[in-house]
Amino acid sequence: MNEFLSTLLQAVIIAAVPICAGAAIKGIRAAVQYLASKSESEIAKKYLMDVADAVSTAVTYTSQTYVDALKASGKFTKENQEEALKKAVEQAEKLLTAEARSFLEEAYGDLNAYLVSKIEAEVRVQKQQSNTITLGESFTAELKEAPDVTTVAAATAAATAAAVVQNAIPQTAPVQAPDSPQEGEEVLAV
């Protein structure tokens, strides 16, 4: 009996070791892939933040040093717009690190086309911001999650309906049911 258990245990171990090793290897590979993708996304996020900062700075710089003076003199033509874009692209490229430039070229291809699109978007954002009025101290708010429009609409409709019903109830006269006793008759309690 002892020999039988020993042989059975050896057979189970021989069968289980490759299965466990295979599962361990798959788990290790999955962990390595996860860590690699996480580190790549962290690096990408860093470079994209660097680009956003460089573009924002380049647009502000070009606006202050070139565009504002032309607009004030009334000489901001289509050619001057193109020149301003060129200056902003050059300034953004100067502000980018070699690693960020390399990342962008690898990720997006044409660095110039990428910067032009980002600069155009930043110009629009800055124009929209310049049309706003800030009263008092400015603040920054971070939205964690926007509410679902359908949920808000449904909640508003339900609250409105409840208010209408609540206001309508006291204003209506009580209706006597046909089985109710006539005036002056006693009602039996059950």
Predicted confidence (pLDDT) at residue 5 exceeds the cutoff of 50: yes
Q: What is the pLDDT of residue 140?
A: 47
Closest-CA residue to 58 (of 90, 82, 102, 83): 90
User: What per-residue confidence (pLDDT) applies to 161?
Assistant: 62
Q: What is the pLDDT of residues 21-67, one digit of tens each?
A: 666 677 677 766 765 566 567 888 888 888 888 888 988 888 888 88
Amino acid found at 139: F
148-153 contact pairs (CB < 8 A, 24+): none
- What's residue 91's pLDDT? 92
Torsion of CA 19, 25, 30, 35, to 10 degrees: 150
Give the pLDDT confidence of 146-171 residue by residue, as tens digits: 556 566 566 666 666 666 556 655 55
Enter the pTM of the model: 0.50
